[in-house]
Structure 1
Amino acid sequence: MENWNRRQFLATGTAALAALGLSGCDGGDDKSASPKGRGEAVHFLDLDGRRITLDRPAGRIVTLGPPYAAMAVAVHGSPDRLVGIHPRARDMYSRSFVREMFPEIMTIPTNIAVGGDFTPNVEGIARLQPDIVVQWAEMGDALIAPLENAGITVARYRSLEAGAEATLAAMLTMFGEMIGDTARAERLNAQRAQTGRRLAEMVGTLSDASRQRVLLMTRTGEAMYASGGGSEGLYSYYIYRAGGINVAEALPDYSPVSREQIAALDPDVILLFGSDGETPRSIFGDPVLQSTQAALQRRVYVLPTGSHYWGAIGPDDALTQIWLAELLYPDRLEKTLRGEMRETYRAMFDQDFSDARIDEILMLETNGISAGYERFRV
């Protein structure tokens, strides 16, 4: 066969992480944070369309959502400008190669949210003396007004009507504009656009009958959750970009499900949002779920963690799409993922990744028991 070379954006870093039982971490005042950026004033629009002016490039940034921290690190090339991150972002980095590259990221204060949620701890944030705080706007002014009333500049995140891809591109650009350097954002957006075009060409060759049926699920103990939604859904939009169909499309964005419901959906492929110790064996050995086509064909995979959780929208999201497309349609795509990873992470960090590091990101040992995963080996 021929080879072919969101709306709820923030929630991609919230619902699954909350289900994993991740609570707020400690974190105090940051006395050794990077100095404020120097240079001329910068001007940019946030995703709410508000014009923001800073008298110098932002050197002290607080991000109140896990995806925001990942985007800042990717666009800035390091965590040097972050002085406060959400506690769930710290947990994300505890599983990521970013911790190895930048150990200091684990010491960035996390006492910026009340109760591990997204209600800002205004006093804690003010002590960090941020140049700007990036905050979710879709829950109304209750999450923003307390910060602005304290004289803190806020850049608002709001999903764009054009969809998740456009929102991600705009968010990356905004993080570049706030420091007066959009070079990395431009490279990442260009790479994502190229990937999108290539995958769209491949998807256009698929018949409806050949589209693979995918379920993304999270397990927390005995509880199970399915990611619902369609082509612009909470976790599901990248499934469609890769040519798949979300078998849980009719469900709300993030829904508790029983084993029997999953068996009735009978997906061709199951993706597991990674928690500590997660493995495809949890599906292969389950007395109910082992009857699904995904288990019978051994097409169960734990989502990797790169600079961000794959499967929860982030700066290396295009890699998730390529990874999944190669798993769904191995006979229609060349094996380009490892090269794409090197290119993407070089654009973020100006470093060449070793084969060993790429193996770790792809979880070759964990996913190696599943069908077709050998294509990702060197």
Structure 2
Amino acid sequence: MSRARRFRRKGRAPALTALTLTAALALTVGCSSREEVQDSASTGETITVTDQRGKTLTLDGPAAKVAFTVMPAPSIFAAVDRSYDRIVGINQSTLTANQGGMFGKMFPASKSTEVIAGSDFVPNVETVTQLNPDVVVQWGDRGPGVTEPLEAAGYPVLGLEYGTQEDLEAWITLFSEIIGKPERGKELVDWQHDELASIRKTVASQPGPRPRAMILSKTGDTFSTTSPDGYDGFQFPLVGADLVSKGVSSDSGQINPEQIIAWDPQVIMLSGFDKSTPADIYSDARFANVAAVKEKRVYKTPLGAYRWQVPSMESPLMWQWMNRLLYPGRTDNTLRSQVRSAFDDLYGYEITEDEIDQVLRVDVNRDAANYDQFLR
């Protein structure tokens, strides 16, 4: 990734862009229709993109206001723009993550952004209308029930698909195009490609059987995991792990304790979508003989701008974190410096040592095996 910095910020958002300010002024003088607002914000630079549904969208100019029903998308968009200024609506789950992680520190406005959808992704069209975005980012592969209400209200919908590295790169490219920064999108995709090549080279040099590993989610007495049909089917083999849940076919991923015991994972990585901690797994007597428990190799996955376990701008950091825990013999303990560099390049943010601890969940992972490699 290029090391050019457009700005550097710590703890405060930069000034409004000219497009955002223009749109805001148009609203305050009493525009009565969406068309009038669009005309007032137009720069004369028409932008045409094709989303992942194959549908073509034409904008009058770079989008100044964007709303998201899709959970991980705002953090990716903010990295592309190196700003939160254009984001006006988000999913409830995104808001929860923003309020508990680094994203809210980097972009304080993200902790109080209007919610336009919940876990079912059905948009609240009334709220969307109040926000009046230039584009709404929505799932493009979950049927017309989540897209048609928005399109019927006159809003361009950027339809996305999810689950692969290629999808992630498509998001980066599409976001860069709708804000008129295609060169930034190429820069970020190139970085992802460079990091993919790097981790593959590292794994190829690591001999021996691949450690048995899994992602585990625990909510109350219910356990679930991921299948190879999702991103982890790509991510775990990439970093040199044998994904023990490769035979899971349930849509919910729900499993019972007996299945975990039978798999006997050597490494357990706990989901960032629940409140479970390594201590919860260690204290469950049923897992006393599971290799990961006996060897203290249960880890809470990091939370950066968003939860690292899903496709995001910080996925290359997740790959490094996973590989270093799977193969603790590595001597190039540079993850903290990689986090520092990435947050600067992606978000224009100078992350502190305490904040790196927060991202890496040192509070709950400190005593786990081999986690000392991530301590300062």
TM over 0.5: yes
Residue 45 of structure 1: aligned partner: 50
Give the drift of 1:333: 6.1
Task: Output one character per residue of 1:10-55: Cα deviation in whole Å (capped at 9) or x when no partner.
Answer: xxxxxxxxxxxxxxxxxxxxxxx94346632222221223322110
Matches of 2:331 and 2:178, distance apart in 1 = 38
Letter in 2 for 1:356: D
Structure 2: 5+ residue runs without aligned partners? 1-18, 24-40
Residue 102 of structure 1: aligned partner: 107
Task: Output one character per residue of 1:270-291: Cα deviation in whole Å (capped at 9) or x when no partner.
Answer: 0101356532111112101121
Aligned: 1:309 with 2:314:
no
**Conservation of the 8 A alpha-carbon contact between 1:43 and 1:51:** yes
Matches of 2:252 and 2:235, distance apart in 1 = 15
Is the deviation greater in 302-311 or in 97-106?
A: 97-106
Residue 359 of structure 2: aligned partner: 361
Give the drift of 1:181: 1.4
Matches of 1:352 and 1:121, distance apart in 2 = 36
Matches of 1:48 and 1:342, distance apart in 2 = 36
Q: How does 1:69-88 map to 2 (within 5 A)?
A: 69-88=74-93
**Conservation of the 8 A alpha-carbon contact between 1:93 and 1:99:** yes
Give the drift of 1:79: 1.8
SS at match of 1:92: helix
Give the drift of 1:206: 4.6
Task: Output one character per residue of 1:312-360: Cα deviation in whole Å (capped at 9) or x when no partner.
Answer: 2222111111100111112246222122212221121222222221111
Select 2:152's aligned residue among 130, 138, 149: 149
Aligned: 1:251 with 2:248:
yes
Q: Which has the larger radius of gyration?
A: 2
Q: 1:156 to 1:149 in 2, by over 3 A?
A: same
Matches of 2:125 and 2:331, distance apart in 1 = 49
Q: How does 1:64-143 map to 2 (within 5 A)?
A: 64-110=69-115, 112-113=116-117, 116-143=119-146
Matches of 1:266 and 1:172, distance apart in 2 = 37
Letter in 2 for 1:212: P
SS at match of 1:288: helix
**Conservation of the 8 A alpha-carbon contact between 2:106 and 2:349:** no
SS at match of 2:137: strand
Matches of 2:338 and 2:260, distance apart in 1 = 33
Q: How does 1:1-378 map to 2 (within 5 A)?
A: 34-35=20-21, 36=23, 39=43, 40-110=45-115, 112-113=116-117, 116-159=119-162, 164-206=164-206, 210-229=209-228, 233-252=230-249, 254-274=252-272, 278-332=276-330, 334-378=332-376
Structure 1: 5+ residue runs without aligned partners? 1-32
SS at match of 1:44: strand
SS at match of 1:240: helix
SS at match of 1:85: strand
Cα root mean square deviation, aligned = 2.0
Give the drift of 1:127: 2.1
Letter in 1 for 2:243: N
In the superposition, the TM-score normalised over structure 1's length comes to: 0.84
Residue 3 of structure 2: aligned partner: none
SS at match of 2:225: strand
Letter in 2 for 1:217: L
**Conservation of the 8 A alpha-carbon contact between 2:53 and 2:141:** no
Residue 4 of structure 1: aligned partner: none
Give the drift of 1:131: 0.3
**Conservation of the 8 A alpha-carbon contact between 2:49 and 2:57:** yes
SS at match of 1:233: coil
Matches of 1:277 and 1:143, distance apart in 2 = 29
Letter in 2 for 1:262: I
Letter in 2 for 1:223: T
Matches of 1:276 and 1:168, distance apart in 2 = 23
Give the drift of 1:151: 1.3
Letter in 2 for 1:134: V
Letter in 1 for 2:342: T
Matches of 1:235 and 1:65, distance apart in 2 = 19
Matches of 2:184 and 2:324, distance apart in 1 = 26
Task: Output one character per residue of 1:57-115: Cα deviation in whole Å (capped at 9) or x when no partner.
Answer: 101101111111121122112221111101111001112111112221122110x22x6
Matches of 1:93 and 1:183, distance apart in 2 = 27
Is the deviation greater in 276-285 or in 125-134?
A: 276-285
Matches of 1:332 and 1:210, distance apart in 2 = 16
